[in-house]
Amino acid sequence: MAKVKMKTNRSAKKRFKVTATGKIKRWKAGGSHYNTKKSKDRKRRLRKATLVNPSWEDKVRGLLKEF
């Protein structure tokens, strides 16, 4: 009988990327609407990506089936 493959969580694959050094990159939430009340600096910070907190990395890796 054929072995069943593990499936990658498709929504996680669209939200996270793995960097060349193996860290997980994510994009910040809250930048898509209600932007008139947000300051220019805050909107600029929301455009930039950041790294997933190390305490969450194992959980995200489990969804991505990486490594």
Quote the pLDDT of residue 17.
94
CA dist., res. 18 & res. 38, Å (int): 30
Domain 10-29+37-64 class, CATH top level: few secondary structures
pLDDT in tens, 17-41: 999 999 999 999 999 999 999 999 9
Task: Give 3-state DSSP helix, strand, coil % of the chain, rounded to 5.
Answer: 35, 15, 50
Q: Where are the domains of the chain?
A: 10-29+37-64
Quote the pLDDT of residue 66.
63
pTM: 0.77
Quote the pLDDT of residue 67.
52
CA dist., res. 21 & res. 2, Å (int): 34
